[in-house]
A and B are shown apart, each in its own frame.
Chain A
């Protein structure tokens, strides 16, 4: 345990409060639980119960220990409605654990908790779902197109993606715990502000390389067929980009494949 001096948030008066550093075992428990933060995702609490589940080991350090009044109040508070990107929920978990152990005012914790939802959701979606994931996926497709085997493709994709994934969760927990309710400043890091745009440009470059290469390998030898497919893909891709949101490409693909299968079966019947 180490002592830290700070102002008790919300009181406006200087106060002393001993804030324990997180013991390694509790930090590890929280880190493992973060991988399960969405296990009970539902339309009522969204990630809320998951956040309470992840913070729970830290709350055992509250006065009265596990099961004490402070522990129960904090766990109930942290298990209410919450929404964020699952990886960046680590920031909230770290910061909220710190705030609870600092014995910050409950109303202030709740306001802080609510304020975290929006930024951690939108930044995570742009950085991970619209940036890092497509980038890694397209890189794996490029490796496939260049002739890599199953093990190489899987190792490349899973290795690269999870360096970013696990790193982001670890960084989030660390920065959240270090900054507590002052974590907003830490979220202004260039990685989160400018990273999505840089990633999108890199992914666009890789996409341009990967699509023809992967197409070439998947089709196999034969220039005439390949050239025809490239033209069709360019044309259909342009149309697919203009599809209304409700008519997603996978629905269209399912329909076209169904027609193609029906045609192929009919061809056999007619030939007989």
Chain B
């Protein structure tokens, strides 16, 4: 990996993975934040922001509702931001590989969260007698044990993902055959397609929202033409 600070990124991935559910849910774990910070750690926040915006498109579809299973975007976006920041957004295929690595990491991250909830349930069973007896040690202990386990989960996920995807990305970019311009366009088109479908699904149930969407779209297309 070209000069990537693994320790800093692992800690950042752990902290932002923690934000997704455990503490403090301030949405530091949203891709547009986490990928930018991941990029900043490797010295290229602007490339991180590009990956963050593309991943934010995809993340618009997944609402972090209670027991549902969804990709864990915090650690995944740190990985994405670090990868694209390391190789540079101008590198042909960098955005495609970054999005692939980040979405795959988010998918695995979602699985690790399900395992963590199972682990928390096992710990809750162990603490059960104390909880039922109103022991503050049991109640507070279980809470901090869950917090610590989630921190480790996010850190381990980030580290393993960087170790796996960095050499894959380096190898793939070395033999990338498609044109840089189309590579970027395809990656963005895929992400934005998910976003446009998500926006429709999110707001179609609200009275008159489709008219607001169409009005906004008209404004947005005009603004895009101007800028």
Contacts and interface: CB of A to CB of B under 8 A. Distances in A.
Contacts, number: 355
Contacts of B64: 129
A234 B220 CA distance: 14
Contact of A243 (B66, B123, B197, B206): B197
A26 interface: no
A268 B176 contact: yes
Contacts of B133: 72, 76
B131 A52 contact: yes
Contacts of A141: 32, 53, 56-57
Interface of A: 35-36, 38-46, 49-50, 52-53, 56, 66-67, 71-77, 79, 83, 85-87, 121, 125, 129-130, 133-134, 136-138, 140-141, 144-147, 149-150, 153-154, 157-158, 161-162, 165, 196-197, 200-220, 222, 225-226, 228-230, 232-234, 236-243, 248-254, 256-258, 260-261, 263-271
A20 B177 CA distance: 72
Given A66-B136, A149-B49, 7 more contacts: A38-B23, A56-B136, A162-B27, A202-B212, A208-B219, A266-B177, A267-B178
B53 A71 contact: no
Contacts of B132: 76
A240 B198 contact: yes
Interface string B113-155: 0000110110111000001111110011011111100100000
3 shortest interchain CB distances as A-B pairs: A208-B216, A240-B197, A237-B196
B120 A40 contact: yes
Given A36-B22, A76-B133, A134-B202, A240 B65 contact: no
A72 B206 contact: no
Interface in B143-172: 143-147, 150, 172
A209 B216 contact: yes
12 contacts: A35-B23, A56-B136, A134-B199, A153-B49, A157-B33, A200-B203, A201-B208, A215-B224, A236-B196, A249-B197, A250-B61, A254-B104
A131 to B, nearest CB: 9
A222 to B, nearest CB: 7
Given A146-B227, A216-B227, A264-B178, A38 B46 contact: no
Contact of A261 (B22, B63, B96, B107): B96
Interface of B is mostly: helix
A149 to B, nearest CB: 7
Nearest to A50: B143
Contacts of B186: 260
Given A204-B212, A240-B194, A241-B197, A254 B32 contact: no
Given A53-B143, A249-B197, A204 B210 contact: yes
A261 B190 CA distance: 13
Report, as a range, how many residues of chain B touch the other chain. Answer: 35 or more
Interface in B21-63: 21-28, 30, 32-33, 36, 39-40, 45-46, 48-50, 53-54, 56-63
Contact of A40 (B123, B184, B201): B123
B202 A75 contact: no
Contacts of A257: 96, 99-100, 103, 187, 190
Contacts of B59: 137, 250
Interface string B179-191: 0011111111111
B189 A232 contact: yes
Contacts of A56: 136, 139-140
B124 A134 contact: no
